Amino acid sequence: MLSPIHQINALFIFFALILGPAMADVIRSVDEQTGLLSWRMQEGDFELKVTQLLPDQTRAFFLARGFSKETANTIATGCIMQTIGSNSADKDAHGAVDVDLKRWRMLHNGSEGPIKPKEQWDSEWPAGKVSDAARLAFRWATFPTQQDFAPGDYGWGMTSFGLLPGSYFDLKVVWSAGGVQKEAWIRGIQCAEER
């Protein structure tokens, strides 16, 4: 017969096994002023926030960077989200959080595939279609395809998912911390609709 302490330990182990790995916390919120939706995920020291961007706002931003109306519209209607990643560990902690967008996956209409990194956009614009200045601005306004976040670091930028305005999808976020790969799903993200 197990002692009370061992019984309690056994119960904890039992529930841990049946519930599986700890789930990331995901909070969906609405900006009171803009009505735009955000999804905030946190697991351990890694935080990620994905926020809707209106197609009109994205159009205006890239027009101001020197893109043509046609190309700015193509970008703006490709489900662009403002994304912020951060390592919230104490500044004296060690170990970076490594994020590589090429490992992320999105699930839309039952089909799973990669998100659209900046390099893919760049490859769609032959020389002369987009000015060097515009291309440079795009490169730096978009979330880094790969980045190590040291404690206290955060990175921001636009991420694109290649879906039409108003579309819904699930996002599998993949990152590494302490050499261990982790993943979490953010369900029911919606691309902002035209207003």
Give residues in contact with another protein (CB under 8 A).
31, 34, 36, 38, 47, 49, 51, 53, 56-61, 63-65, 82, 84, 86, 88, 91, 132-133, 136-137, 139-141, 143-144, 146-147, 149-157
Nearest approach, Cβ of residue 111 and another protein (Å): 29
CA distance 185 to 172: 4
Q: 37 has which bridge partners?
A: 30
Nearer to another protein (CB atom), residue 8 or residue 133: 133
Nearest approach, Cβ of residue 163 and another protein (Å): 20
Closest by CA position to 83, among listed 107, 111, 117: 117
Neighbour-count burial for 52-64, b at 16+ CB within 10 Å, e otherwise: bbbbebbbebbbe
Nearest approach, Cβ of residue 88 and another protein (Å): 8
Nearer to another protein (CB atom), residue 10 or residue 133: 133
Nearer to another protein (CB atom), residue 101 or residue 108: 101
Nearer to another protein (CB atom), residue 38 or residue 107: 38
Nearer to another protein (CB atom), residue 58 or residue 160: 58
Per-residue tokens: 176: 């590494």
Nearest approach, Cβ of residue 28 and another protein (Å): 15
Cα separations (Å) of 29 from 34, 39, 49, 52, 61?
12, 6, 11, 11, 24
Q: Using an 8 Å Cβ cutoff, are 147 and 99 in contact?
A: yes
